[in-house]
Structure 1
Amino acid sequence: MTSRWLRRGLWASGIAAFVAAVAIVALPYIASTRIVRDRIAWEMSNWTGYRVTITGSPQINIWPQFNAVLTQVSFSRWDKSEQEPVIYAEQIEIGLSAMAALRGEVQFSSTRLIRPVIRVEQADSGLYLPPMPDTGTIGRAVEAARMIIKSGTAEPDPASLPATAIGSAEIRDGRIVMQVNGQDEEVLSSISARANWAAPGTSSLLSASAIWRGENVTIDASTQRPLLLAAGGAAPLSFSIKSAPASLSFEGKAELSINPFIEGNVKFQSPSLRRVMEWTGLPMASATSISAALLDSHILGNRERIKFDTTRITLGKNSGAGVLDLAFGQAGRPALSGTLAFETLDLDPFIAAFTPLTSPAFAGAGAADPTAPELLHFDLRLSAAKASINTIPLTTLAATIQVKDGLCVLDVSDATAFGGNIQSSIRFDRTPSGTQAEMRLLASDVNGAAFGAAFDMTRLMPTGKGTVSVILKGPGKSWDSVVENADGSISASFGPGALTGLDLAAFLKRNAEGGFFALDEVANGSVPISSAEFKANITKGVVRIEKAQATQGNLLLWLNGIMPYAGRGLALTGGIANQQPENSDGTEASPPASQAEFFVGGSWTAPFISPISTP
């Protein structure tokens, strides 16, 4: 009895093994005849909503996984099938269910696109995406969610959405292109990406890497409600973009509809802002000298305006906080406004970045960058407890930067420096005929010695308290060309102090001896003075001194003449005389008794003296 049951069991096992072997052998035939070709193309169309065309001959693999290998596959829009396909892949590997294949069904478990070309265009939300069809499993799910959103329901009921599995999708060595002037222009290359989205009602993850403008970029994104996001509803969203030049991350919620909305925390960080500008092709790259940059803020906005509140910003070694507002106007040029307060602030990078001329005082003479001021409209209020400009220390700074429609203005409305108060304005007006530059400086109650040292004017500079006013205006493509063609005025007045860089006794002695001599020969000393006054007009870059005098008791030291900026030459006359008492009507009783008169020639850096007369 036992032997008979044993024989029956062996027969049953043998039959089962035979059936399994037959099924395995028959599987490629069954699959190739019932699934591959039109059936797979039809199922892919039903899944994606695109018109799928498979040109190459499909191949079915059983081991190690049951899958189909498709070649030369196109995904096109049904309404525009004559155009270039939205997606074209040299090869697609599709993971299939073996049991579903035996039943004559198709179930995709995974999809891998090898060397695909994906075409994108600007969507209503402003993002560049492949055109998404309204049909197909995904399209129908998005449309169902969209109808639920229109009905006023806060969140779609998962039971009301299609339950078809979507699985995972992978891209290897892909490219993204877009149409520019009728030609395909590559946006991203060497794309490797993986997306997991089990079903329309579940969360999704995306991880990708690509090359953009020669730099490798990695992207990680996730959302708990991808269908709601795709349908134009508000949904949680987090993403990070990382590259060597910069990184950007966001955590919050977004709505990608015709009227997009975003709210959350954003963080931007770069070890070199200049490198970012060069990488992205921004024209300010040649001007800015700001190194590391960091922006960390909560943002709230839509396609018209984004507000950065509780903003923390670091530019180089300058850390500040405040509120920023970025508006996207109809002219296509964004406008950035706001207020930032710094503990310490270096103004040199701001001057270089926001003005179209390169200043010799900051970065060496250079030509104007005509596109830098056109990148954005700016209206920024800056304040700092401590600041510097060209190594000049400032305290309690209040400044404004404005850039709009070719007009660039940097105003220092208030700052403490040199023991007094500083007010300054730099203005650039770009016109069709060229750039017009204007600079104004008013230094009140400043220490003359400190002021002169800061501007490298230590020779014959009064050391007492005084006021200096400078106005320059002229055309040019660089600071040198502006000053060479500038018109304006310079005035200054100082109280008791001294004239540095002059030994008066040695000067009088050397002048009395006759013959040329360099001012450097009599520069080891200083002359005490009770007051000093300077007035000059500037015409086409030539300084014409109207009044330059200093008094020491009844002794008067004076100069007049011209000093052209081009060539830095000198053509001055001067003298040292005894002042005479004035009459009751304020006129001098007699001409001053001259101790010495002389001619000053040479250059600004190396003047020489030639006696005109001696007592």
Structure 2
Amino acid sequence: MRASRNRRWRLAMRSVGRWLPAVARTTGTVVLTIVIVFAVFRATAPFLISSGLVRSGIEDVLSKWTGYKAEIEGAPTLDFWPTPRVTLNQVTIRERTTDGKVLGHVDSLSADFSLWAAIRGRADFHEFHFLRPIIYIRRDEAGLIDWTNEGLLAKAIDRAERSSSTTPGMRPDQDAKIGTLTIEDGILQMADERSGNTYKLDSINADISWPRLSRPMSAVLLARLNGQDIKVDFNSDQPLLFFAGKNVDAKTTFTSPMIRGSFTGTTNISNFSALAGNLDLAIPDVPSFLVWSGEHLPGGDTLKSVSLNANISTVSSGLRFNDLSFKVNDAAATGIMDFGYTAAGKPKISGTLAFDQMNLNPFLAAFSMRLAADTAIDALLNGNPLQRLDMDVRLSAKNAALGPFRFDDIGASLLVAGGTAKFDIGDSSFEGGDLTAHLEVMERDFDGGGKLQISIRDADFGGLISRLKLPGPLPLATGSLDLSLATSKPIWAANLSDVTGTLHFRGKAGSFRQFNISAFRALATQKTFFRMSDVADTAFDFDSISANATVAKGSADVRDLKIVGRNETITLNGLIPYRSNGLALSGTLAATDPANAADLPMLPFFLGGTWPDPVASPVTALLQKPPAQ
């Protein structure tokens, strides 16, 4: 059996040995012939191809695509290795009129071309490379790019715009071939008629892949905007419909050191209210972003970072941000927001945000927004953003902070409409009590001033004073406060001297720290002047405290500040110039029960100087002081 197999194997090998040399010789001859033909073809191609044909072909291609006149100043340069490629210098695109307006200029344009087609007398180009192009475009009032109506691209866009189908058909002769476009060190300048602004991108480097008009397009663009590098990735299966201002599915990613974002879903180049999809946006450094965008926001230093993620859908009034996740600094919120327009055409934001923790400073900073003059954003918004935007936002938080103050279970609202801006805290727990507040920026384009009203009930002011580590002799008690302040000057221009208002405080039993009432009486009989720190070794317990004051011109006019103790009562009246930490108060120390007036006679005194260690002087001592000799 084994001998039979070996015999058959030897016979097969002799058969292969007879025909293998013939096959090898034939294959070698074919390969050699192909190489010789290719080499001869490449060697003779420069003599067979007219450079004028290539040049006129490029001009014709550019003119057909743009609808404008293409002019080439330099002579074309032809290369045939590794692929046939033509390079032309100083290419200008201008309107087809005498002294037509220049719409674009390219320092150098190169493209691959079909060698066989060129030998046959026609130009077929692909893989375009533009070196240092400058392109000028215009965005019209409708939000569409003015492509002109003459070029192949413009005509294709026009057909797509007039089509009622979401997938417009295209005849084979209309489905022009595009290929790959590479842009190096370009400039794009767009005049936006809708906003009246001109936008400029420079240092543009881009790779655009668009095989045919009917095929999907992908583009990657690198550029510089206001001195910062940006990167944009765009992908769409229906680019023609996109350029025609129709709704298309697309994915856009924007990346820069100042802002990052991506949007996946329905996109519309002319109508942002038609967006529907997922939006992810982040501003990691808000102060730097404001500088980059040319905007100045008073109080903006409280904002460190902002990010949001939401599913956007179209509603009758505009856009809705569903499943919104919003983060300001370290405070995260969830909710739902709407963006639309009022009947008068004014932009409006409304919705609800729920925070775990919230810093109120950024929200209150909105009431002092005043953009820097002579900036692009200032020109766009025409001054105060609150003049150009309506808001109706509900806010809630388990914990909230406003500077050193802390709130729990807060419910608030921000309302901007009809020339008035209001911020209300409808309910909040504050230092064991309840707080409500109302801040309003008045009419007359927010230049008419503003007012602040705060009402606090049964709060632990003693705990607040201790936690804030406020110095000096102060009352520690649970009480209620009503504060009403107003200014006739613009909020962003007002200072403490421009504020007027009233204050009412009522406190329960507590203690007046750093005040030894017995030592105060004793020193009042011994010294003409003494410091309050001289009687700060103990506290004065009281049963109640009340105070009324009016605020004006940087001072509080105190009326009937009364601290009622079990045995003695202190009454104070006068001025507190709070801008200079000063005091100028007249007071009395008397028996709480008039029946004890003999044992505790009335002691009038004056309290003045600088907080937290003012000087006290008995009035009787001043009256009895002998005149100077």
Normalised by the length of structure 1, the TM-score is 0.85
Match of 1:383 in 2: 396
For the residues of structure 2 that align with 1:370 and 1:508, how far apart are their CA atoms?
Answer: 60
- Shift of the 101–526 alpha-carbon distance from structure 1 to 2, 3 Å rule, reads same
Supply the distance in 2 between the matched residues of 1:69 and 1:309 (Cα, whole angstroms).
Answer: 52
CA distance in 2, matches of 1:223, 1:180: 24
2:148 match: 133
Structure 2 counterpart of 1:342: 355
Call closer, same or farther: CA 1:115–1:552 in 2, change over 3 Å: same
Secondary structure at the aligned position of 2:576 is classed as strand
- 1:292-342 per-position Cα deviation (integer Å, ceiling 9, x unaligned): 221000112499732212111011110111111223569886332221001
Does residue 76 of structure 1 match 2:91?
Answer: no
From 592, 599, 608, give the equivalent of 1:601. 608
Relative to structure 1, the CA distance from residue 256 to residue 370 in structure 2 (aligned partners, 3 Å threshold; closer, same or farther) is closer
Alignment check: 8 A CA contact 2:450 2:491 kept = no
SS in 1 for 2:540: strand
Deviation at 1:412, TM superposition (A): 1.5
Q: C-alpha distance in 2, partners of 1:451/1:168?
A: 68
SS at match of 1:143: helix
CA distance in 2, matches of 1:219, 1:213: 15
Correspondence for 1:492 among 505, 519, 537 = 505
d(CA) in 2 for partners of 1:535, 1:297: 49
SS in 2 for 1:37: helix
Q: Answer yes or no: is the 8 Å Cα contact 2:209–2:217 preserved in 1.
A: yes
Counterpart-to-counterpart distance in 1, 2:266 and 2:173:
22
In 2, are the aligned partners of 1:421 and 1:446 still within 8 Å (CA)? yes
Counterpart of 1:139 in structure 2: which amino acid?
A
1:43 aligns with 2:58: no
Mapping of residues 16-415 of structure 1, within 5 Å: 23-33=41-51, 35-78=53-96, 82-123=99-140, 125-126=142-143, 129=145, 131-147=146-162, 149-150=163-164, 153-157=165-169, 162-179=174-191, 187-256=200-269, 261-284=274-297, 287-301=300-314, 305-328=318-341, 334-356=347-369, 371=384, 373-374=386-387, 376-404=389-417, 407-415=420-428
Q: Secondary structure at the match of 2:74?
A: coil
Is the 1:259–1:303 contact (alpha carbons within 8 Å) kept by the matching residues of 2? no
SS of the residue aligned with 2:335?
Answer: strand
Distance 1:370 1:145 in 2: 40
CA 1:124 to 1:571, structure 2 compared with 1: closer, same or farther past 3 Å?
closer
Instruction: Report the counterpart of residue 522 of structure 2 in structure 1.
Output: 509
Matches within 5 A, 1:398-437: 398-404=411-417, 407-429=420-442, 431=444, 436-437=449-450
Matched residue, 1:585: none
Shift of 1:211: 0.6
For 1:487 and 1:29, the matched residues in 2 are separated by 93
Q: What is the Cα deviation at residue 487 of structure 1?
A: 1.8
In 2, Cα distance between the equivalents of 1:81 and 1:180?
Answer: 26
Distance 1:81 1:421, change over 3 A: farther
Could you give the per-residue CA deviations for residues 573-608 of structure 1, whole angstroms, max 9, x where no partner exists?
1111114459xxxxxx99996342211110233311
Asked if 1 retains the 8 angstrom alpha-carbon contact of 2:544 and 2:565, the reply is yes
What SS does the aligned partner of 1:166 have?
A: strand
CA distance 1:154–1:532, shift in 2 (3 Å): same
Q: How far 1:421 moved relative to its partner?
A: 0.5
Secondary structure (helix, strand or coil) at the match of 2:533 reads helix
Structure-1 residue corresponding to 2:462? 449
Aligned to 1:586: none
Select between 262-271 and 480-489 the one with higher mean Cα deviation: 480-489
Cα shift at 1:263? 0.7
Summarize the alignment of residues 444-483 of structure 1 with structure 2, pairs less than 5 Å apart.
Answer: 444-453=457-466, 459-476=472-489, 482-483=495-496
Which residue of structure 2 aligns with residue 365 of structure 1?
none
The alpha-carbon distance between structure 1 residues 257 and 611, as it changes in their structure 2 partners (threshold 3 A), is closer
C-alpha change, 1:321 and 1:57, in structure 2 (3 Å) is same
Structure 1: tracts of 5 or more residues without a match:
1-8, 358-368, 583-588
* Cα 1:335–1:455 shift into 2, 3 Å: farther
8 Å CA contact retained: 1:299, 1:306: yes
Q: Which amino acid aligns with 2:182?
A: E
Which secondary structure state, in structure 2, belongs to the residue aligned with residue 463 of structure 1? strand
Q: Give the CA deviation at 1:116.
A: 0.5
SS in 2 for 1:168: strand
After alignment, is 446-455 or 47-56 more displaced? Answer: 446-455
User: In structure 2, do the counterparts of structure 1 residues 273 and 213 end up closer, same or farther at CA, with 3 Å as the change threshold?
Assistant: same
Contact map agreement 1:236 1:253 (CA 8 A) in 2: yes
Query: What letter is aligned with 1:103?
Result: R
CA, structure 1 residues 13+484, in 2 after alignment: closer, same or farther (shift >3 Å)?
closer
Q: Rate the CA distance shift 1:414–1:454 in 2: closer, same or farther, 3 A.
A: farther
One-letter amino acid matched to 2:87: V
SS in structure 2 at match of 1:227: helix
Structure 1 residue 373: Cα displacement: 4.3
**SS of the residue aligned with 2:297?**
helix
Amino acid at match of 1:337: S
User: Matches of 1:447 and 1:43 in 2, distance apart?
Assistant: 81
Measure, in 2, the Cα distance between the counterparts of 1:606 and 1:511. 16
1:327–1:334 Cα contact (<8 Å) kept: yes
Distance in 1, matches of 2:547 and 2:32, equals 117
Q: Is the 8 A contact 2:441 2:491 kept in 1?
A: no
Change (3 A) 1:560 1:232: closer
Contact preservation (8 Å) 1:502, 1:522: yes
Letter in 1 for 2:541: P
Contact 1:175–1:190 at 8 Å: present in 2 too? yes
- Residue 204 of structure 1 and its aligned partner are, at CA, apart by 0.8
Residues 294, 88 of structure 1: alpha-carbon distance in 2 compared, 3 angstrom cutoff: same
> Which residues in structure 2 correspond to 1:513-528 (within 5 Å)?
513-528=526-541
Contact 2:572 2:585 survives alignment (8 Å): yes
User: In the alignment, which residue of structure 1 is the partner of 2:23?
Assistant: none
Distance 1:376 1:274, change over 3 A: farther
Worse-superposed segment, 494-503 or 591-600: 591-600
- Answer yes or no: is the 8 Å Cα contact 1:536–1:545 preserved in 2: yes
| 1:391–1:546 distance in 2 versus 1, CA, 3 Å | closer
Q: How many residues align?
A: 584
Structure 1: distance between partners of 2:391 and 2:566: 53
Question: Tell me, what secondary structure is at the counterpart of 1:284?
Answer: coil
RMSD of the TM alignment (CA)? 3.6
Residues 14/205 of structure 1: CA separation in 2 closer, same or farther (3 Å cut): closer
Secondary structure at 2:601 match in 1? strand
Structure 1 residues 55 and 304: alpha-carbon distance in aligned structure 2, compared to 1, 3 A threshold: farther
Change (3 A) 1:86 1:599: same
